[in-house]
DNA sequence: ACACTGCCCTGCGAGC
DNA sequence: TGCTCGCAGGGCAGTG
């Protein structure tokens, strides 16, 4: 499932190759809905022809290709979408819906088993609106633990659902949210507004660590993710929690079997011993110590070392 | 403004 | 071997 690290992996590969190239043609296959445009009167397949590709950018899980025409191609891979760079003479890949022929003789192919992904031709206004709707980039240094804490304080919902909300923070999906909550020993159903400043700061540090490592490993290939050259990412072998409830895997910290929950309709993996829902902190100037959840980057710390309330 | 649910979509693995 | 069925989940619309 392409999340921020996977989209960033695709972006980096494309950024090496496609800027400066011109779109010579477009071939749509049976599922023509893969290429669309919200702009009235714009037929994307014909509008693309002759356009130069200026850059390869990313915002959250969206890949953005600004064009010389002033419009931009916005790609969302959703669950199973893939963008591939192949020779223009290659046969269609499996589940291919769209081929963008470049003047170099290469093709940018869009394939998607589940037809969830989209390639959209949009204008500046749409792009600005998208940027406005999405929350800050988790790897942007301007986002601080204090800001995240402030945002969480207005959210009574479960922390996992809130982290998946792209308006709060952009780019996180099911895999990396489970990993970050496991690392910080925060239960996915903990109400977001009960997290302390320390919790929020630790969570942000864990998210950044996990995302950076995943990017360095070219993303997580759990089922179908591939970079534009058809190569799998290597991060799946390093996941500690996500998907490990199956097969009787145990928490590497405390040896407790992982447990599968459904939170917000998403399959969720937790260690039922390390990740426990804590009571609401007592509001006001009471000098009760906030629960110390430990975790974070420290490995091998038994949960018994937690400071009980 | 926010939470929650259902929808889209189809290959795959489990179970019989 | 071959069938059925449920699972995977990001974003969005609709509802409360």
Q: What is the pLDDT of residue A21?
A: 98
| Distance from residue A246's CA to nucleotide C2's C1', rounded to whole Å | 26
Is A135 (CB) below 7 Å from strand B? no
Question: Residue A57 belongs to what H/E stretch?
Answer: strand A57-59
Q: Which of residues 154-193 of A touch strand C (CB under 7 A)?
A: 164, 166, 173-175
Distance CA A23, CA A44 (A): 12
> What contacts A154, CB < 8 A, 6 or more positions away?
A193
State the DSSP code for A30: S
CA dist list (Å): A245 to A123, A127, A250, A265: 44, 39, 8, 16
Nucleotides of B under 7 A from a protein CB: 1-11
Angle among Cα A203, A169, A206 to the nearest 5 degrees reads: 20
Q: What is the pLDDT of residue A281?
A: 54
- Which band of pLDDT confidence, cut at 50, 70 and 90, is reported for residue A199? very high
Mean pLDDT lowest for which of A1-15, A193-207, A225-239, A272-286?
Answer: A272-286
DSSP SS3 for A230: coil
Q: What is the pLDDT of residue A40?
A: 85
Q: Are A152 and A162 in contact (CB under 8 A)?
A: yes
pLDDT at A302 over 60: no
Distance CA A272, CA A293 (A): 14
Q: Which of residues 191-230 of A touch strand B (CB under 7 A)?
A: 192
pTM assigned to the model: 0.89
> What contacts A247, CB < 8 A, 6 or more positions away?
none
Distance CA A238, CA A220 (A): 9
- β-strand partners of A141: none
Distance CA A84, CA A99 (A): 9
Of A232, A230, A231, residue with least CA distance to A93: A230
Average pLDDT estimate for A10-36: 94
Q: In chain A, what are the helix, strand and coil shares in percent, each to the nearest 5?
A: 30, 20, 50
Q: What is the pLDDT of residue A242?
A: 87
Q: What is the pLDDT of residue A294?
A: 52
Shortest-distance nucleotide from A133 CA to C1': C11
> A197 or A291, which is more confident?
A197
State the DSSP code for A248: G
Report the protein residue whose CA lies nearest the C1' of nucleotide B7: A116
Active site residues of A: 2-3, 61, 266
Question: Residue A199 belongs to what H/E stretch?
Answer: helix A197-216
CB count within 10 Å of CB A270 equals 26
Q: Is A288 left (phi over 0), alpha (psi -120 to 50) or beta?
A: beta
Long-range contacts of A89-96 (CB under 8 A, 24+ apart): A92/A29, A96/A29
Angle among Cα A195, A182, A8 to the nearest 5 degrees reads: 95
Mean pLDDT lowest for which of A2-6, A126-130, A208-212, A300-304?
Answer: A300-304
Q: Are A170 and A61 in contact (CB under 8 A)?
A: yes
């Amino acid at each position: 499932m392409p999340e921020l690290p996977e989209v960033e992996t695709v972006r980096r590969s494309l950024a090496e190759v496609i800027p400066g190239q011109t779109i010579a043609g477009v071939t749509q296959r049976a599922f023509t809905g893969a290429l669309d445009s919200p702009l009235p009167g714009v037929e994307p397949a014909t509008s693309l022809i002759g356009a130069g590709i200026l850059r390869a950018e990313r915002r959250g899980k969206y890949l953005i290709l600004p064009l010389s025409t002033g419009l931009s191609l916005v790609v969302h891979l959703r669950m199973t979408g893939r963008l591939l760079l192949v020779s223009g003479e290659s046969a269609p890949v499996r589940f291919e819906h769209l081929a963008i022929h470049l003047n170099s003789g290469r093709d940018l192919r869009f394939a998607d088993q589940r037809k969830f992904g989209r390639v959209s031709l949009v204008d500046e206004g749409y792009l600005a609106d998208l940027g406005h709707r999405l929350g800050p980039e988790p790897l942007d240094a301007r986002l601080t633990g204090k800001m995240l804490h402030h945002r969480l304080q207005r959210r009574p919902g479960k922390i996992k659902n809130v982290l998946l909300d792209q308006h709060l923070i952009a780019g996180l999906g099911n895999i990396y949210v489970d990993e970050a909550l496991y690392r910080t020993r925060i239960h996915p159903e903990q109400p977001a507004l009960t997290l302390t400043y320390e919790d929020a700061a630790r969570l942000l540090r864990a998210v950044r660590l996990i995302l950076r490592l995943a990017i360095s490993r070219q993303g997580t290939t759990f089922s179908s993710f591939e970079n534009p050259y058809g190569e799998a990412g290597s991060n799946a072998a390093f996941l500690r929690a996500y998907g490990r409830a199956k097969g009787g895997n145990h928490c590497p910290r405390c040896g407790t079997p992982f447990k599968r929950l459904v939170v917000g309709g998403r399959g969720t993996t937790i260690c039922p011993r390390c990740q426990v829902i804590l009571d609401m902190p007592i509001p006001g100037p009471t000098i009760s110590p906030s629960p110390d959840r430990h975790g974070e980057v420290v490995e091998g710390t038994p949960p018994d070392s937690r400071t009980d309330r």
